[in-house]
Structure 1
Amino acid sequence: MSEIKVPDLGESITEGTIYKWIVKEGDHVGQGDVLAELETDKVNLEISAEESGVISAILRKDGDNVAVGEVIGLIGSGGDGKASAADSGKPAAPEAPVVPAAQQPAAPPAGAGTLATAPEGPAAENGAAYLASPGARKLARERGIDLGEVGARDPIGRIGQADVKTFGAAAVPAAPKPAPAAPAQGGAPAGSPPPGTKAADGKETERKRMSRRRLTIASRLVEAQHTAAMLTTFNEVDMTAILDIRKRRKDNFKEKHDIGLGFMSFFTKAVVGALKAYPLLNAEIDGEDLIIKKFYDIGIAVSAKEGLVVPVVREADRLSFPQIERQIAELASKARANTLALSDLQGGTFTITNGGVFGSLLSTPILNAPQVGILGMHKIQLRPIAIDEVTTVNKPMMYIALSYDHRIVDGAEAVSFLVKVKELLEDPEALLLEG
């Protein structure tokens, strides 16, 4: 008899959600066979069999939140007999209370802290359920604090490290604890109408539980807005020169490098050049210290089925245009196939997001904490531009936006950074020298 355990999920991730079981009780499996898919805050992972045998028991079901190292199933040595948890000498894992959807955050970097919904410690013994980050749980354990007594400043009710640190020092009214509810059929909270049914007023509605990743995206974006002094500045870029280069070079570029020449390589190089000129945009805050990074790992926001993810192009300053385009294409493909590794998402120093591919003309991007800068690209649109007092010409223009953390970046530096990006994009040859 062997145990099926939740594997180590990587740095800062202590919990996951069973997305789906691939096998069922009684199935014969071989060593290395995929047994279940686990959803974490950042990526989905497969749990494989460590030895051959028969699935004797499945102890946790689809949708359950589980911790690293937790036993979620058993594999017998063979035959057609099924062993229960009691037969194996191990108690069945308790059902984790489910927070009703009405108490869960409403919806998004892709920023900071893991969202945990399964209670642990003293509050779990009382049957209470609450939302708390792993960092908050760890700090509470170290200080002997009952998380059930800690108030949350977060409007979605999530307890963070700051709440634990200030517990007792400031009067923070505790958020009401939701009563634990048994999941209804189909994953909907008990007492709620089944999906697709009509509400009391006769109008049709659908109740759908948010995925762990969507909950985390929501939490991180709210946290970024609460912890950073975020401000956005805007400018516009004349894209004539870049469009001309792409028109003249795209076929040869594609033939030689087997990858298309897009806009992202130009913007990545321009951002690197501007970061070299204004290094505080490539920093982060650690307590009372600044960490100014001397490397340029640029996050590229990608829209995937489960929400926005930000894989990282490493050492972008050392890469050529085709190398940047190839890495971005590979990371985007992995994101949409849900095969990104944790290493693909960690350690970015600055982020670029392109809402223009969806038609956005102007937006204010939210910081991808702990980074202190994010550049937003937008749709290229012909606009009349005054050349002089009497001449106006239609030019392909793009609005660009820089959101930054005003705690360490002053307005003058942020504006100068964005002007530098504009200048490099409008003079692409400068990218070869400064990017």
Structure 2
Amino acid sequence: MKRSFVSLLLVAILMVIASAGRQPVARAEEANRKVTVTNIYGYQDADGFFSYYHIVGSVYNGADMAVNNIELALTAKDAEGKTLLRDYSGNPVESITINPILWTLEPGQASPFAYSFSLDNGQPQTFDVKLINYETTAARETQVEVQHGQMVTGDDGMLYITGELVNLSETRLDIKGLAGAALDEDNNVVAANTYEAGAGYLAPAGDARGNDRIPFRFRLTGPAPTAETWAVYVDASPAQAEEVLPLELSEPYTYVDAEGSVHVVGSVTNQAEDTIELYLLAGLYAEDGTVLDAEVINLPYALQPGQSVPYSLNSFSGVDSVAGQSDKIARTKVWVTTAMVNNNYEYVSLNTEIDQQVQADSVWSFSGEVTNNSDKTLSWATVVVALYDQRGQLLATYDTDIYGETGLIEPQSTTAYTLDLNVPLDLDPAKVTVKTLVQGMVN
């Protein structure tokens, strides 16, 4: 499988030479307009339980100005000429209006599109995608490059594209859209999707925190037997610099559990005078700098001023689904991708009681109770369990939300919690300290 490092310019060149898709019969629109549909491809996914048909392809902007709000008309019919498409109410419709994954295309830029529908109503014999409309807009100058990328096929039949977006300009860039595609030997799109993990902005080149290069992951539905290489498409816009909130991240700890799943844990400290909600992004890197995977989480609890809490990222599907990928992990990095001041809500700190734990080889189970000893009614509470070694190094952590009998947690009421935690291999319980944290949000 080829590995490709593509810039926006290369993506545009690749899409110019794209041609029509494969069987079943699909008619690509003739390239007689400035904005054109350059290839169409259809396939049935490999899911053995849910059967869906996927129609993908590419739209190219050959105009000398930027365009947005591109509308495409998609049709799909069975052998008898009956439509297979349905509206939101389940009623048959002759066509459906879809958009490319990217909203804005600069001159010479392309974007894939992707649409899927259930095969409950039949198998498509013909399908088509035609350009309906688009609008012109002001062009934007950006310098974004994709580096340290790869495409691998998972044991689950999915295709995973990972890499880094790198800002080469001196201006902050907001990422408005990000698309990934698998390409055949003729550079036709044969699978496509929007990104599954990534960030919403890139700091200016040379950023001291390293936020000028951010990892990403795409998960494309397979199979794609003709896929030879891949491409990444970026919709970015110059933006004003924003205030950097004072947040401190510990050095992350990465481990593999007994089931072969990768986990990244660490702590984040709020050094501001405001309550902060934030998103964290982790990237897993090979020795040569290749991005093996990326994952993002919304921290499940708001950080109070001066508060330090543990976090965990646990869904690295691009590594977990490909045998041998976790063995290549050489380093891990974690970013704060979004941090928002939110002083509109009130939180209370609580404690767990009657804690019990059952320690199996790979999964430790915790249970206990939380009493709302405040005078506030809570919408819910988040219970965090964290394991530390004798030096205070965080080894594993996980969280769960709890609710009262009627949904709300009333003052002086007691609520039970249970939590399962996948721990590192060969973890010695005698050398582990367990700590719990509970934070409730006032209703």
Do both proteins adopt the same fold according to a TM-score greater than 0.5, normalized to the shorter chain?
no
TM-score, normalising length from structure 2?
0.25
Identify the structure with the greater helix proportion. 1
Identify the structure with the greater strand proportion. 2
TM-score, normalising length from structure 1?
0.26
Higher normalized contact order (CA 8 Å, seq sep 6+, divided by chain length)? 1
